[in-house]
Amino acid sequence: MKVLMVCLGNICRSPLAEGILQNLSNEQGLGWEVDSAGTSGWHDGAQPDSRSIAVANTHNIDISRQRSRKFLVSDFDDFDLIYVMDSSNFVNVNKLARSQADTDKVDLLLNVTHPGMNKAVPDPYYEGGFEGVYQMIAEACDLIVKKYAIAKV
């Protein structure tokens, strides 16, 4: 399974989602490929926000080697599942979709835990709340593994 996590800057939320899901895959020997990207490209090449690195560290996950990159149209070809953090990410990613097959890969991450409710992972860049963000992402990643790991083994 190849999974891409997407937010606006690719420095706060999606790096956490990448780190959490990759860690679950590694722990369980699933061999999944997990990556993350931002719709903006504003922080291209940057390390994750120090607050995301810190909260991941408290859960024994190292995301410090990740680097921000912009979402690419070719990501629709390279990934099976594309999870976005909020409705603005959803609109921006789907604007680049070339087909229904592309669109079908995209969903809000919290629709995994709250089906059909279109809830957002709140942007913590200005407001903070990194631990809460970590928890909601981790809960969704647990369910993604439960849902798709079965098909793999």
Is 13 an interacting residue with respect to ligand 4NP (CB under 6 A)?
yes
Residue carrying structure tokens 């959803």: 90
Binding-site size for ligand 4NP (CB under 6 A) equals 11
Query: Is 123 assigned a catalytic role?
Result: yes
Q: CB-wise, 22 or 89, nearer to ligand 4NP?
A: 89
Nearest to 55 by CA among 126, 139, 132, 113: 132
Is 9 an interacting residue with respect to ligand 4NP (CB under 6 A)?
yes
Pattern of binders to ligand 4NP over 37-76, x per CB under 6 A? Answer: -x---x----------------------------------
Query: Is 7 assigned a catalytic role?
Result: yes
- Considering only 1, 3, 4, 10, the residue that binds ligand 4NP (CB under 6 A) is 10
Helix, coil or strand: residue 69: coil
Which tokens in the block code for residue 29? 């020997």
CB-based contact 38:118 (threshold 8 Å) = no
How far apart are the C-alpha atoms of 129 and 112, rounded to whole Å? 21
CB 8 → ligand 4NP: shortest distance, Å?
3
Helix, coil or strand: residue 42: coil
CB-based contact 44:69 (threshold 8 Å) = yes
Pattern of binders to ligand 4NP over 82-111, x per CB under 6 A? Answer: ------------------------------
* Identified catalytic residue from 12, 13, 51, 86: 13
How far apart are the C-alpha atoms of 112 and 143, rounded to whole Å? 7
Q: What are the catalytic residues?
A: 7, 13, 123
